[in-house]
Structure 1
Amino acid sequence: MAITAFQSVTLDGVMQGLGRPDEDTRGDFTHGGWGNGYQDEVSMQFASDGMAEGGALLFGRRTYDDLLGFWTTTPDPNPFTDVLVNTRKYVASRSKDTVLDHPNSVLLAGEAAETVMAVEQDTAEDLTIMGSGEVARALHKAGLIDRYVLQIHPIVLGSGTRLFGADDRTDLVLERSVTTTTGVVIAQYRATRSRRC
């Protein structure tokens, strides 16, 4: 099993509130929707290629509710919704009482790093973390992420929750990079070591 973190970040590493002004206002964040206007055919093709590789998705509960809630209520049919609905989704939550409202969803109740390690024992299926900053940071700190795919947007916000915090150093090897027509650099990195090795 390989775990990939697929994240959109600003040049200064902020990942909070990518899609909508009201998406995530925690900490009085006022820059929500900063990712709008940067999507193009290059980024769509990159995402489509990634989805075609298969595997399961891993979310934190908040991102799961927000992302699935949005894409399953959008009126226009699109392949992204089909993938989200039909793919197995693991949802990390500290509460065993969390209710998962969408099909093909499996609750991982407890601390994210511990529950994901348990999943690794039971399946060879690759996992992709989409958004879900708290989960990504917990797995990063535990050395469980094998690959990082970062969509680095040409914008500096100066505030907001960043993808990486004060964690241990992680050395990465660039495997692939693509620049979109809107200036987004999509960089795929492999972690050179992890704590589970």
Structure 2
Amino acid sequence: MRQIIVSTFLTLDGVMQAPGGTDEDRESGFECGGWQVHASDEEVGEAIAGWYEDTEAMLLGRKTYDIFASYWPNADPDDPFTDRMNSMHKYVASRTLASVEWQNSTLLEGDTVDAVRALKASDGGSISVVGSGDLAQTLMRENLVDEYRLTIHPVIVGSGKRLFADGAIPTALEPVSIKATKGGTVLAVYRTTGRPTYDSYQ
């Protein structure tokens, strides 16, 4: 059974939209794109690289796929992360794409949830859902997420797409590792453990 891991950048108020550029995703009039650039540090990059070392494949929604496929094939070839991103297998969930051209990419066929269930049941290593908020929320609702790897940055933007949006399924988590960088970003890894339990302090 393969592990499905949601990996994403978040603001302190939980927004995941457009961390890397002002025009990355302006859906719903979002004007705070690029919020991560000045709220990150070298330790974040090192942590992300470490997380990818034990990741066999990525699972991407269409928007994130388009962003990555336009950048990584032309990125600095001397950066070892460039080769890692290009060589890793990519599974793409999309209702609009007819084909995917980025090397080692496969377009999932049929119902996305059924396709991910089949991937999860197959042999192989862990699969990271990177960005891809709509896809991540679909998988969370279907109880297909095993782990969250989150970088929580010291910035508040007030509005935008949130990973844990209204309607998120109540889920209990156990911490795997929690670390704060010198720049104030929290690197948090949580494993899902089922539904929360409820009690009272009375």
1:72-111 mapped onto 2 (5 Å cutoff): 72-75=73-76, 77-95=78-96, 97-111=97-111
Q: What letter corresponds to residue 152 of structure 2 in structure 1?
A: I
Partner in structure 1 of residue 22 of structure 2: 21
- Partner residue in 2 for 1:47: 48
Alignment pair present for 1:133 and 2:133: yes
Deviations 1:121-175 (A, max 9, x none): 3333310111011111110111111000111111111110111121220111111
Based on CA coordinates, which of the two structures has the bigger radius of gyration?
A: 2
**Inter-partner Cα distance in structure 1 for 2:55 and 2:156:** 33
Q: How many residues align?
A: 193
Higher mean C-alpha deviation, range 97-106 or range 71-80: 71-80
Instruction: Give the stretch that moved more between structures: 172-181 or 72-81.
Output: 72-81
Residue 112 of structure 1, CA deviation: 2.7
Distance 1:112 1:133 in 2: 14
1 CA distance for matches of 2:138 and 2:110?
12
In the superposition, the TM-score normalised over structure 2's length comes to 0.89
- The Cα of 1:118 is off from its aligned counterpart by 1.8
Unpaired runs of 5+ residues, structure 1, are none
Q: Which secondary structure state, in structure 1, belongs to the residue aligned with residue 139 of structure 2?
A: helix
Q: Which runs of structure 1 show a deviation greater than 4 angstroms over 4 or more consecutive aligned residues?
A: none
Q: How much does 1:183 deviate?
A: 0.7
Alpha-carbon offset, residue 75 of structure 1: 4.3
Alpha-carbon contact 1:93-1:111 (below 8 Å) kept: no
2:164 and 2:18 map into 1 onto residues whose CA distance is 16
Give secondary structure in 1 for the equivalent of 2:140: helix
The alignment's TM-score, normalised by the length of structure 1, stands at: 0.92
Deviations 1:2-58 (A, max 9, x none): 111111011111100100000000000000000012332211221121121131111
Task: Find the aligned partners of 2:60 and 2:105 in 1 and give their Cα distance.
Answer: 10
Q: Which 10-residue stretch deviates more, 176-185 or 110-119?
A: 110-119
Give 2:84's aligned amino acid.
V
Q: Which residue of 2 aligns with 1:144?
A: 144
CA RMSD of aligned residues (A): 1.6
Q: Percent identity?
A: 36
- In structure 2, relative to structure 1, the CA distance for the partners of 1:75 and 1:50 (3 Å cut) is closer
Q: 72-81 vs 60-69, which deviates more?
A: 72-81
What is the CA–CA distance in structure 2 between the aligned matches of 1:190 and 1:109, rounded to whole Å? 28
1:47-66 mapped onto 2 (5 Å cutoff): 47-66=48-67
Alpha-carbon distance in 2 for matches of 1:9, 1:110: 30
SS class of match (2:74): coil
Equivalent position SS for 2:136:
helix
Corresponding residue for 1:119?
Answer: 119
Asked whether the equivalents of residues 92 and 111 of structure 1 are also in contact (C-alpha less than 8 Å), the reply is no
Q: Which residue of 2 aligns with 1:174?
A: 175
